[in-house]
A and B are shown apart, each in its own frame.
Chain A
Amino acid sequence: MSGLQIDAVEKDFGETSVLKGVTLNINDGEFVSLVGPSGCGKSTLLRIIAGLETATRGTVSIDGTDVTHVRAADRNLSMVFQSYALYPHLTVAENIAVPLRMRQMSTTQRLPVVGGLIPGTGPLKRDISQAVRHAAEMLEIGALLDRKPGQLSGGQRQRVALGRALVRNPAAFLLDEPLSNLDAKLRVQTRAEIAQLHRKLKATFIYVTHDQVEAMTMSDRIAVMMGGEILQCAAPEVIYEDPNDIRVAEFIGSPKINILPLEHTNDGVVLLGRVLDWPMPAGMPHLMQLGLRPEALRLVEGPSKLRGRVVHFENLGSEIFAQVVLYDGDIRLTLRATPADRQRLSLGKEVSLEFELRSGLIFDTAGKRLRMAEVKTRAAKEVA
C-alpha cells in the first residue's frame, strides 16, 4: 500500500490536448474521486495512472518510484472497468484467479496437464483457490463461483470484477465508473459497499465517475476535472461549501446552484435593480456573479429581495424543489423547501424569496471565486 504522485501530466491525441498539466498527490489509503462531465479527461488520467495510455509529458510515480514508462502489468495496480470486462469463457472462480495465476505461476505451471507435474504447483494452486474463496466471501459471491459471467446479473458481474481486483494486494485500486451500468437502487447499495470495502482494506482507491453523488458520498477527497485540468481537489464538504471556481460550484450540487448577476456601483451592490445592504470592500470588479445554493433561499411573506412565480414543482417527499422565474431579468431560480411549505408552493403562485448574505458565493465574470467580496469572510475578519 502506498501513495501515488501525478506530476504535470499532459496528454495529446493528435492535435487535441486532453490533459493540460495535471498534478495530483494521492496519499496512502486515500479514496480520491475524479469527477467531471464526459470528455473532461478523467478516464484518460486514470488510464495513464494504470499504464494503459502513456502520458505525452509529465510523470506518474507509485510510492516514490517513477513508473511512467513501466507497462500496466508491472505497476501492481488493480482496475475495475465500467463494462466489468470479465473473461466470458472462464467461470467466476477462474476470473478472480487470473491476476494471481498470471503473477505467481510460471508459464509452464499454467499448462493444463504438464503444469501439475512441476513441483510447487499443487500448493500454489491451493493458495490461489483459497485467496479466491476469501475474496468471494468478502463480496458475498461464494455461491456463484462455478458460473460463467453470461449467467450473472449486472450487480453480480460487478462484484466479480471487484473480486478480481482485490484478490491480490495492489498498490492502488482504480475504478472507472464501476456503478454506471447498475440500476438506481443497486447503485446506492453498491456505493455503500465500496465505501465499506475501502475502510476495511485501508487501500488507496482512485474512483472515476461523472456522478457527483457517488463522489460526494464515498470520497476522502474529490478532484473536480474540467477541460483537461483539475479545478479543485479537496474534501467533499469543502468542494460543496467553498468552491474555488464557478464551474465547480455548478457541477457539484443537485439541483444546480443558482447564479445571479451582481453589480458593484457607486450606490453599493445591486442585485437585479435592487440595492443590497452589502459591505463590499474596495477594489472589487464592477460586474460579479452571485451563487446561491437552493437551500440558501427561503420563502417569506411580503416584500423581499427576490419575487417571482412558481413555474415547476418537484415533490420528493422529504423535500420540495420549486423553480421560480423572477420578475426581474427573467431568471429561473431553484428553491429547496420543506414539506411544511408545501401549501405555499403551487404552480403559477407568486412567491417572495429571501437569502442570507453570508450564504452567497461571489465569483468574478471569468468564474474565479472572490472570497474578499463575501460577507462571511469579512464578518469573520471583524470578529477576529
Chain B
Amino acid sequence: MTKNWWKHLILIVGTIVVLAPFYMMVSYSFKSPGEIDRGEGGFFGRQEMMVDPRCVALRQPNRADIEAARTRFTGQADTEIQAALLAEAEADCSMRPVVFNYSKAFTEAPLILYLLNGVIVTVSIFLIQTLVALPAAYALAKLKFWGREAVFGLVLFCLLIPVHAIALPLYIVLAKFGLTNTYAALIVPWTISVFGIFLMRQFFMTVPDDLIDAARMDGMTEFAIVWRVMLPTAVPALLAFAIFSIVAHWNDYFWPRIVVTGNRELFTPPLGLREFKGDGDGSFFGPMMATATIIVTPLIVAFLLAQRRFIEGITLSGMK
C-alpha cells in the first residue's frame, strides 16, 4: 500500500480528470444562475427561492388584467392593483433553483420528444446491427465456405475506415434517395456494424463446435442455431457490443446534425442541447446542464445494470 502510493495518486488524479466535468454538470444543474456566475454555493447551491424573470415578464399585468381583477381588490387604485398583481406573479414565478433548472429543461425544448427520438434511433440501430451481425459472425466463425477468409479480411479492412471519411458520400446517397430529415437517415447508415461482426465472430470462435453439432443433431436449421443457441450463449458479448453501440449513437452529435436540418421533430438529445446555447438573451447554464444530466442518466443506469448481467453472463454460462 505504502509502496504503491504513487500508483494510487496517478489513479486518483485520473479519476478527478474524468469525473470533474460530470461533477460540474450535476452541480450546475442544481444551482441558480447567480450562483453559477459567481461560482459559489458548493455542490448543491443554497437552494434559496429565486424568481424566474422571464416568467414574471410574461405575466406583466395589462389594462384588461387590472379591470378583471378589480372585483377582488375593491376600492383600490389602479397602481395598487397593478402592484398587487405583480407581487402575485412574482410569488407564482419563484421557485427553488433545482426545480427551475429541471422544469426549464423539459419546457424550454421538447426534451421528452428528443429522448424518445434518441431511444427510437439507438434501439433500431442496435436491433438491426444484431440482426445482421449475428448470422454474419456465425458464418465467419463456424461455417466452412469458399472465400471465408477473404470476407473476414474485408470486415477487418472496414474497421479501419473512419466514419467521417465516408460521411459526405453517405449524405449524398441519402439526399439522392430523398431520405434526409427522416428516421431512416439517422438509422440506415449504421445498420451494418463491422465492429459488431468482428466482436461477435471472436466470441463465437470460443463456442465449442460440439454445441453446434448437438443442435444440428437435435434438428435445428442453421438459422435456428444462430437465434436459439448462439444468441443466448453470446449474451455477455452482445451486452458489451450494446454498450458500445448505444453509447456511440445516443451521444452522436455529428451525424444527426448533418442529416437533420431544421426539422425539430427529429432532433436527438445531443441536438436538443443546442437549444440552451446562450444567444442574445443571456446564458442558460442551469437548464442546459439539467438537460445534459437527463440525457446521460439513462446511459449510466443502463451501463450499471448491464455490468451486473455482464458478470453473471460470464460466470453462469456453464460452458467449458
Q: How far is the CB of B157 from chain A (nearest CB, A)?
A: 27
Is B317 within 8 A of A98, CB to CB?
no
Closest to B214 in A: A85
Instruction: Kindly identify, within residues 14 to 73 of chain A, every residue whose CB is under 8 Å from any CB belonging to chain B.
Output: 47, 50-52, 71-73
Whether A102 contacts B218 in the complex (CB less than 8 A), given A81-B213, A85-B208, A87-B229, comes out as yes
Q: Give bound CA distance, A87 to B230, whole Å.
A: 10
Q: Check if A82 is an interface residue, CB within 8 A of chain B.
A: yes
CB-based A-B contact count at 8 angstroms: 74
Q: Check if B20 is an interface residue, CB within 8 A of chain A.
A: no
Q: Check if B147 is an interface residue, CB within 8 A of chain A.
A: no
Instruction: Kindly identify, within residues 96 to 130 of chain A, every residue whose CB is under 8 Å from any CB belonging to chain B.
Output: 98-99, 102-103
Is B210 within 8 A of A150, CB to CB?
no
Is B221 within 8 A of A73, CB to CB?
yes
- Chain A residues with Cβ below 8 Å from B317 are 88, 150
Q: For chain B, what secondary structure do more than half of its interface residues adopt (helix, strand, loop), or is it mixed?
A: helix
Is B318 within 8 A of A86, CB to CB?
yes
Q: Mark B271-295, 1 if CB is under 8 A from A, else 0.
A: 0000000000000000000000000
Is B318 within 8 A of A149, CB to CB?
yes
Interface residues on B, range: 20 to 34
Is A88 within 8 A of B213, CB to CB?
no
Is A87 within 8 A of B224, CB to CB?
no
- Chain A residues with Cβ below 8 Å from B77 are none
Instruction: Kindly identify, within residues 216 to 240 of chain B, every residue whose CB is under 8 Å from any CB belonging to chain A.
Output: 216-221, 224, 229, 232-233, 235
- Chain B residues with Cβ below 8 Å from A50 are 213, 217
Instruction: Kindly identify, within residues 76 to 99 of chain A, every residue whose CB is under 8 Å from any CB belonging to chain B.
Output: 77-79, 81-90, 98-99
Is A102 within 8 A of B220, CB to CB?
yes
Q: Which of B216, B218, B235 has the most CB of A within 10 A?
A: B218
Q: How far is the CB of B238 from chain A (nearest CB, A)?
A: 12
Closest to B219 in A: A102
Q: Give bound CA distance, A90 to B317, whole Å.
A: 10
Q: Check if B316 is an interface residue, CB within 8 A of chain A.
A: yes
Whether A79 contacts B213 in the complex (CB less than 8 A), given A73-B220, A102-B218, comes out as yes
Is B316 within 8 A of A72, CB to CB?
no
Is B214 within 8 A of A79, CB to CB?
yes
Q: Which of A51, A77, A98, A148 has the most CB of B within 10 A?
A: A98
Is A72 within 8 A of B217, CB to CB?
yes
Whether A85 contacts B210 in the complex (CB less than 8 A), given A149-B318, A150-B316, comes out as yes
Closest to B224 in A: A102
Q: A73-B220, A83-B210, A102-B218 are in contact. List 9 more A-B contacts (CB 8 A).
A: A51-B216, A73-B219, A78-B217, A81-B210, A81-B214, A83-B320, A87-B232, A148-B318, A150-B316
Residues of chain A having any CB pair with chain B under 8 Å = 47, 50-52, 71-74, 77-79, 81-90, 98-99, 102-103, 148-151, 164
A-B contact pairs, 24 of them (CB 8 A): A50-B213, A51-B216, A52-B217, A71-B216, A73-B216, A73-B220, A78-B217, A81-B210, A83-B211, A83-B320, A85-B208, A85-B210, A85-B213, A88-B319, A89-B233, A89-B235, A98-B218, A99-B219, A102-B218, A102-B220, A102-B224, A148-B316, A149-B318, A164-B214
